[in-house]
Amino acid sequence: MFIVLLKTFHYLAILFAGGVLVGGGLIHAVFTRANQVPDINVSKVLKILGYLGLGALIILWITGIFLSNVIYGGFAINTAFTIKIIAAAFLLIISFIVNIHVYNSSKNQQPPNKSIMKMATMTGRGLILIVLVSAAIAFN
Ligand code: HEM
Q: pLDDT per residue over 30-51, tens digit each?
A: 988 999 888 889 989 999 999 9
* pLDDT at residue 118 in the model: 85
Please give the distance, rounded to the nearest whole angstrom, from the Cα atom of residue 72 to the centre of ligand 1.
12
- Indicate whether 58 pLDDT > 90: yes
Within its chain, how far is the Cα of 3 from the centroid? 23
Domain range annotation of the chain: 2-138
Which ligand 1 atom sits closest to the C-alpha of 91? Answer: 1
Q: Whose CA is nearest to atom 8 of ligand 1?
A: 135
109 vs 17: CA distance, rounded Å: 27
**Which of 10, 66, 81, 127 to mutate for ligand 1's pocket (most ligand atoms within 8 Å of CB)?**
10
Q: Whose CA is nearest to atom 19 of ligand 1?
A: 64
Residues 6+ apart with CB under 8 A from 28: 38, 46, 117, 118, 121
Q: What is the pTM of this model?
A: 0.93
With cut-offs at 50, 70 and 90, classify the pLDDT of residue 61.
very high
